[in-house]
């Protein structure tokens, strides 16, 4: 009995939950990648179609694994992935991601350093779409659904946001081509804006699809560099030159000064609206997104 109680306490500790959750998702995604190299890559299917199949599989398996794992782990309904919140948050998130990239490109264009060299067939959108789909689902389920959510429940919203901002800044200090602006921009995007989107909506669909739209649009629509992918061709073949503060330099528009400022602004808007909805977790042990009554009162 004591051994079971001790084991239960260990498994319930939030850091153990984070490790277990990440381990399960990463293992399943790795399994999908193994199936791709073992089976799918040996077929005669076009590369773009293979990429779409793998991306859909990874998105589905990451979502399903999260739901089943935390339904069992927390003994609750997984409200943050409720289908009730899917459509609105998916549309808003996806369009917001594309709009942000369009704003970055517009600023570069106004400065006279963005040039469209060629418009490619619509079929070139398939690979970037697959990349954005997989990245949006897998990354945000791990980062926001598992890591941020559990940290926030333990420490409160404000401390969790501060930890995430610092963490992403530290993780990207030594990235290739890193500058003060690029590190700040990454911290504002992944460490502030996306968690803030979750705090505002209390739905993972919003940050998942915002990330999806963002990663799809940058290389897929505008032909910009995205350091997370090797995709070199999208709908537009473009030339981006000029001051790295405006263009993001070798790491692309997402690491520009405009990206830093706009993501800071949008994240702040999300938090102001979240505060008005009483969506902040103010202290450890306060009602959280796992509490049905709190959900009903605040955003259901």
Is the model more confident about 200 or about 298? 200
Structural domain contains residue 209: yes
Structural domain contains residue 51: no
The residue ranges of DSSP E strands in the chain, in sequence order, are: 114-119, 236-240
pLDDT, tens digit (0-9, with 9 covering 90-100), for 172-210: 888 787 889 999 999 999 999 999 999 999 999 999 999
pLDDT, tens digit (0-9, with 9 covering 90-100), for 83-110: 999 999 999 999 999 999 999 999 999 9
Structural domain contains residue 1: no
Q: State which residues form the domain around 273.
A: 85-298
Structural domain contains residue 72: no
**Residue 285: pLDDT over 60:** no
Structural domain contains residue 11: no
Structural domain contains residue 36: no
Percent of the chain with pLDDT over 70: 93
Query: Residue 294: its pLDDT value, please?
Result: 46
Structural domain contains residue 235: yes
Q: Return the DSSP state at 97.
A: H
| Exposure of 187 in the CB half-sphere (CA atoms within 13 A) | 21
pLDDT, tens digit (0-9, with 9 covering 90-100), for 252-282: 899 999 999 999 999 999 999 999 999 999 8
Q: What is the mean pLDDT of residues 63-87?
A: 93
Q: What is the mean pLDDT of residues 50-56?
A: 95
The number of distinct structural domains making up the chain is: 1
Question: Which tokens in the block code for residue 155?
Answer: 């420490």
């Amino acid at each position: 009995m004591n051994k079971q109680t001790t084991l239960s306490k260990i498994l319930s500790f939030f850091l153990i939950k984070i490790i277990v959750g990440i381990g399960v998702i990463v293992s399943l995604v790795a399994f999908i990648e193994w199936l791709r190299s073992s089976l799918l890559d040996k077929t005669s299917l076009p590369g773009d179609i293979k990429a779409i199949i793998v991306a859909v599989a990874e998105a589905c398996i990451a979502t399903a694994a999260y739901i089943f794992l935390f339904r069992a782990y927390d003994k609750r309904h997984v409200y943050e992935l409720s289908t009730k919140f899917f459509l609105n948050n998916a549309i808003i998130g996806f369009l917001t991601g594309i709009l942000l990239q369009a704003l970055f490109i517009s600023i570069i264009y106004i400065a006279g350093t963005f040039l469209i060299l060629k418009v490619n067939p619509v079929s070139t959108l398939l690979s970037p779409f697959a990349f954005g789909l997989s990245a949006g689902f897998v990354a945000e389920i791990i980062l926001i659904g598992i890591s941020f959510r559990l940290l926030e429940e333990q420490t409160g919203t404000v401390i969790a946001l501060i930890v995430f901002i610092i963490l992403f800044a530290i993780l990207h200090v030594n990235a290739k081509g890193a500058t003060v602006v690029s590190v700040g921009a990454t911290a504002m995007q992944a460490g502030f804006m996306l968690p803030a989107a979750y705090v505002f909506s209390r739905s993972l669909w919003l940050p998942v699809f915002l990330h999806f739209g963002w990663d799809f649009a940058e290389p897929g629509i505008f032909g910009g560099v995205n350091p997370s992918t090797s995709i070199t061709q999208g709908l537009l073949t473009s030339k981006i030159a000029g001051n790295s503060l405006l263009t993001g330099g070798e790491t692309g528009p997402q690491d520009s000064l405009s990206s830093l400022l706009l993501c800071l602004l949008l994240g702040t808007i999300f938090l102001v609206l979240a505060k008005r909805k009483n969506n902040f977790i103010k202290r450890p042990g306060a009602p959280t997104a796992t509490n049905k009554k709190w959900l009903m009162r605040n955003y259901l």
